[in-house]
Each structure stands twice: as structure tokens, then as C-alpha cells.
Amino acid sequence: MFSSAFALCADDFALSPAVTRGIVEALAAGRLTATAAMTTQKNWPEAAKAFRDLGPDADLGLHFNLTLGGPLGKMPAFAPDGTFPAMNAIVPAAWRRALPRAEIRDEMRRQLDAFEHAFGAPPDFVDGHQHVQVLPGIADDLIAELSERGLAGKVWLRDSADRPKRIFARGRHRGKALTVSGLARGFRAKAKAAGFALNDGFSGFSDFDAKADYAEDFSSYLRAPGARPLIMCHPGHVDEELARLDPVTHSREAELAFLLSDRFAQILDAAGARLVRLSAI
């Protein structure tokens, strides 16, 4: 294990009212140092207010979304029926350089504008739902858009990749971690060259099995960290909106229960680990 500081980010803030409520509970308990918001969701303005009213010692970022629900504006080539395509359709198109990048860039602007409109400030960081921010073309346009907004050096970006040695040292969910690292090839170098800070070390991959012992998974995330380690998680409660939109449901409640438990604190103590905002590492 390690004696180190790490950032812990809850993905999917504003996905549904129940997910938002669960993340707010974890933020209020001091068990998270970041959360990433989906500004495509109708719950986003209320979620932004809940975060602002709480004023947690945590970063609030944009969870750039191209795979769940639908866009904020028309995307006739990318989402002709008003529904985003599945990730397994986006990835090969990205590698063929066949994505309608102008449409995606416009949607990127809309999601960033929606963040600032509801929250009153730019995001502290940007990542992507299902890690779309690291895909070829999308990554270039994200870096360019944020740079044009004067946010280089002001926001940090999620590097969803990690070194194979670290991934194998954790011993769990290696397939997912290695696959995403492959998709993210080149992202880190581009972002750093443009002046953006990133995490160094990334974990939190899961099978989203509500019956599994999430504490064992979490313990593995703490192994083999980098210099600025980031762990993702997906806590929340379940409601009809979540069940309609996403297959990941009851595992969110298991993650939330763990984060709010004494066992979470005990695992951190045993590992010599402490929660911090990524910008503080």
C-alpha cells in the first residue's frame, strides 16, 4: 500500500435526482474531493445549486457526455434521432477519424456553457462519461476549446490512463483499465503541451456488481499510485430516472454505503492514505 494523498471523484453528478442526493451526502460527510457533473441532464440546475449551497471542500467538474441520453442541441450526423450513440460505435469512428467533429465541438460548447450558466463559474476540471474525453479528435477539440476559453492552467483534466505496471499491481479489473489506457494513448502529452495539469495515476474500474464487496475493490485502488493519484467512484441512490437511463443502479448504493461507513476510514488509515483535492497534490 502507500502513504500518500489522493483525490476521490464521484462521476455522474446530476444524472438523476437520487444519484445527486447520494453524492451530496458523501460530499457533506467529507468522503469525496471531487464530483463530475452531466450538464445534459434536466437535474443539472438543481444539482448545481445543491453543490453551491453545500460549499464542500471539493472540485466540481464537467463530465462531458456523448453516450447517455441526448445532446443539448441538434446533432444530425452524430445523434440524428436525438439520442447519443453507444460507446462501441463511437470508438471505431474516432480511430477512423470519422466522427462529425464540428457537431461534437458545438455540443462541447453547449455543455460547458450550461455548466457556467447554472453554476456561475467554469468547471474546476473536465473528464468524460465513459472516458470519451481521451478519444482521438475529441481530445484535440476539448483541449482547443478549453484553451480558447482561457482555461489552460486553470482547470485540470482527467487522464483515464495509467501505466501497465501499476494496473497489474492492483490485480483487479485489469482488462478495463488496459483498454481505456490504450484508448487514451497520446492524450496526456497533448494536454500537458497545451498547459493543462492532469492526475498522475488513475484507478476505480469496477464491474458494478452490487453483490460484490466494494471495500475489496477500493483497497486495490490504493495500490501502486502515481504522483497525483485520482480514483473514480459511482455512488448514489436509485430512482426511476436512473433506472430508465443507465444499467448501473444498485451498485451505486453499495458504493455510497461503503464511502459513508467506518470501514472506509479504516482502510484509509491502514493504507496511510488521505483525501485531498487534486490541485493540492
Grid coordinates of 256:
455510497
Q: Which domains does the chain have, with CATH numbers?
A: 4-280 (3.20.20.370)
Tell me the percentage of the chain whose pLDDT exceeds 70: 99
pLDDT digits (tens, 9 = 90+) for 257-281: 999 999 999 999 999 999 999 988 8
CA 25 to chain centre: 18
In the predicted model, is pLDDT for residue 111 greater than 90?
Answer: yes
User: How far is it, in rounded angstroms, from Cα 177 to Cα 190?
Assistant: 20
The mean pLDDT of 123-146, rounded to a whole number, is: 98
Rounded Cα distance between 237 and 253, Å, is 5
Please tell me the pTM assigned to this model.
0.96
**C-beta separation of 236 from 22 below 8 A:** yes
Q: Could you read off the pLDDT of 20-40 as tens digits, one per residue?
A: 999 999 999 999 999 999 999
Closest CA relative to residue 61, chosen from 154, 145, 141: 154
What's the DSSP call for residue 84?
A: P
User: Residues 27, 50: contact at Cβ < 8 Å?
Assistant: no
